[in-house]
Chains A and B, each alone.
Chain A
Amino acid sequence: MSARKPNNPRRYTAHFVAMLVIGIISSALYLTQARPLELKLNKREAARVELFVGLSHHEVQAIANTLRVLACGEGWWAYLDSGRQADLNRAKRRAAFVSRHGDYGGGLRLLNLSGREVLRISPADTPVPSASWVDRSQGSPTEQAARFTQLRQRFLAVGLFLLALAAASFWGLRARARAREEMDRFFDLSVDFLCISSSDGYFKRVSPAVTDILGWTQAEFLARPFLAFVHPDDQAATLRAVERQQLRRETVTRFENRYRHRDGSWRILCWRSVPQPGGLMYATARDVTDAKRVEQALREANEELTRSRAMLQSLFESLPGLYLVLSPDLQIVAVSDAYLQATMTKRDEICGRPLFEVFPDNPDDPTATGVSNLRSSLDRVIQNRTADTMAIQKYDLRRPDGRFEERFWSPVNQPVLGVGGEMELIVHRVEDVTEFVLHKRNKDAVGSDDAPPRAPASFLAQMEKMEAEVFRSSQALQAANHKLQAVNQELEAFSYSVSHDLRAPLRHINGYVELLGEHLGSNLDDQARRYLTTVSESAAQMGQLIDDLLAFSRMGRQEMRQSSVDLNQLVREAVGSLQPEMAGREILWKIAPLPSVQGDHSMLLQVVLNLLSNAVKYTRRKNPAEIEVRLVRQTADEVTVAVADNGAGFEMKYVDKLFGVFQRLHRPEEFEGTGVGLANVRRIVTRHGGRVWAEGTLNVGATFYFSLTPVNAN
């Protein structure tokens, strides 16, 4: 199909029809116009041309019957054509033009108007094939005739030419139509969608594959500018690609963008587009969405594989046990870091090398059996495909300096079988028991002087006993731990529930009391009002209790973050946050410099805050109040601090109750509180490994002591 005239089959048809019509007209002109001319010519010539023919009457008649004078180009053609029967009248008429004019020996002579002989035909020449004659006379009818004949000839020539052309164009047209049909078949067949777009931003034509790929019908797709289908993020790139074609005449290949599918999803298309003159672009688009997805999934899977392989490898290498992985032909395949450390080797120096080349027997020890024992154990593993536990082995180690060091090992060899049960790898796990063996040997040596090392059997029995014991106790420990964790979780869940479920009814009590008060309004007498207030306050009090209880319970379970804590700073922080309670009060503070201690900052702040807050609260009736923070004692292992006040104090006989949860020594009307503050103080200090105690005298004051571990203690 022509690139520039994609839509012109009609033009070709018009050409064809025009040529056909002109051809037919020309031919018709030849046939209709030429004949009367010829006859007319003959009649005219009859008046002027004389034919002198010295022939017998029969011969003349025969000639007259068949004589034709044909107009041709510049001259006349005459020929005799025997054997043709003509109309007798016509023959007579013609015969009238022919008269006897002497004897020319049976020849035929044609004279022109001026009597000059222009043609002579002798009987010997009969039948005369042809003879040319040029009319040199001045008679205008002849010239005219010549022109007519020329015209007639041209009609014929033009007619034939145009007919030929028409035929040619007909064949051309058919070939074109066939080619176009073939092209269209491919166009419609393509799995990728093919399209032609123009510089106005619309597709001009698009193959039906667009419906398979994007869901739109062809008409829908042609109805909107193509950018309307392009993902907003890809529009700029798409315009750039169009520009490259329009302005720089570049072919764009492998350009990808996202097109909107009719169902709203996006499909990734891969374009190949060629610019054409006149701003057109011919393009094919391939749907690569699935391919991309698969590619992406593959890449991710691959990355995941690499990652997990690396993770597995590093996991293996960082295992605390001593592991060596061997191939069935006893080459070292992999090794854990712990093994490398225990054997003083490096990974890249031993991996890929035969086991016994890396770990040979000590040549200085003629009794060394390490290699042979290990080899027969490994042989057993390969043979039986089951794990093989070896007795404790003396297998000396070659140090990097080439000298051998005495070492004892407890190895286990375990096969790793493939899916089909074939031997794939052997895992060789050892424990370095050198220290244990040497220790044991020394101990025995003390008993019986310079006794040789005890037989391995007795070691083994001892070892097994110890191992079993360790195993048992660790199991018990683990079980206890699990139990503890479970209890802790239960406690956590319990307090979580408490905090939610106990508070909600309190809120409701409070809310409805309030609403009741509003509802009754002025109908409420003072007594009723007081009752309602009491209900509200009790509920609020209970809310506070729940909060404190939960905080106390949490404090026991919260994880401690150990650091160096500056007690001076804690005191400053606590006093700062007590400012609201101290408003309008006269308090004489005496705060001594304090050391730093070890502990959890926020927990210890709670201790100082609770003690100082108590001091502020219980000195409320004293003016001025006196509160003192002093360092009582400081040793290498213990710091003791006291907080003393001149407040309400307490009777020493109740001192034991001070630090109990919900224990109070005062009525709420005197001093508000829930009785959790000091319980918390004790819990925190105890968790820090310290002690807390108090001294007091009723109405004179109280002193609270706590001891903690100083920084830099042992």
Chain B
Amino acid sequence: MIPSGRILLAEDNANDVELVLNALKQNHLAHEVIVVRDGAEALDFLFARGAHKARPEGSPVVVLLDLKMPKVDGLEVLRQIKSDPKLKLIPIVMMTSSREEQDLVRSYQLGVNSYLVKPVRFQQFVEAVKSLSVYWVLLNEPPPGSFFRTTYGGQTMRLGHPGEPP
């Protein structure tokens, strides 16, 4: 059985979702991704509530979190995760378009585990996403209680809004 759905990607922009999945495809991790399309949904998933109430137990081994999202932005998601005694163990990687000092400082204050400024050049972007996912998914030993060999939502692990591309 293929382990699936160990990465939670919170990203509002469909293009970015596709590009990240494309980058992950290169090291065969694309099927590992559960996609949520804004901060509110990310929190719903992590706290297993709302539409994600019935999801199997466990946490992603890493959350890739876009900084600028509608409804609840990445910093707020990060704050809520890190102030929950159980969820705070989950490694969080902040992904952002630009290196803003204030975001960087705030993220680390809130306890972010990694901070990636998405490079403009696609090859560099692919490299960055690849090494990031290899590290967090394959090399890093996740905290206890993380997803492992679990399925969710049948074959496909993507939990985007219905009708939208994954």
Contacts and interface: CB of A to CB of B under 8 A. Distances in A.
Interface stretch (B92-100, B108-116, B136-144, B158-166): B92-100
Given A499-B98, A500-B96, A510 B121 contact: yes
Contacts of A506: 120
Contacts of B152: none
Contacts of B67: 500
Contact of A504 (B16, B102, B119): B16
Contacts of B125: 507, 510-511
B123 A514 contact: yes
B16 A508 contact: yes
Given A512-B15, A515-B22, A507 B123 contact: no
Contacts of B100: 496, 499-500
A94 to B, nearest CB: 108
A503 interface: yes
A511 B21 CA distance: 12
A513 interface: yes
A507 B22 contact: no
B13 interface: yes
A514 B122 contact: yes
**Secondary structure call for the A interface:** helix
Contacts of A539: 120
Given A536-B121, A540-B120, A511 B15 contact: yes
Contact of A508 (B19, B68, B98, B123): B19
B118 interface: yes
Give the interface size class of chain A.
Answer: 20 to 34
B122 A513 contact: yes
Contacts of B98: 499-500, 503, 547, 550
Contact of A500 (B15, B68, B121): B68
A512 B102 CA distance: 30
Give the interface size class of chain B.
Answer: 10 to 19
A496 B104 CA distance: 13
Contact of B13 (A504, A512, A514): A504
Contacts of B118: 503, 507
Contacts of B13: 504, 508
A527 B97 CA distance: 31
The CB with the most chain B CB atoms within 10 A, among A496, A504, A506, A513, is that of A504
Contacts of A511: 15, 19, 22, 122, 125
A518 to B, nearest CB: 9
The CB with the most chain A CB atoms within 10 A, among B13, B98, B123, is that of B98
A507 B68 contact: no
Interface string A480-517: 00000000000000001001110110111011111100
A503 B100 CA distance: 12
Contacts of B96: 500
Interface string A424-447: 000000000000000000000000
Nearest to B14: A508
A515 B26 CA distance: 12
Nearest to A539: B120
A550 B121 CA distance: 19
Given A514-B123, A539-B120, A547-B98, 15 more contacts: A500-B67, A500-B68, A503-B98, A507-B19, A507-B118, A507-B125, A508-B13, A508-B16, A510-B120, A510-B122, A511-B15, A512-B15, A514-B122, A540-B121, A550-B98
28 contacts: A496-B102, A499-B97, A499-B100, A500-B67, A500-B68, A500-B96, A501-B68, A503-B98, A504-B13, A507-B16, A507-B19, A507-B97, A507-B119, A507-B122, A507-B125, A508-B13, A510-B120, A510-B122, A510-B125, A511-B22, A512-B15, A512-B19, A514-B122, A514-B123, A515-B122, A543-B120, A547-B98, A550-B98
> What 7 pairs between A and B have smallest CB-CB spacing?
A499-B98, A543-B120, A514-B122, A503-B97, A511-B19, A511-B122, A508-B15
Interface of B: 13, 15-16, 19, 22, 67-68, 96-98, 100, 102, 118-123, 125
Interface of A: 496, 499-501, 503-504, 506-508, 510-515, 536, 539-540, 543, 547, 550
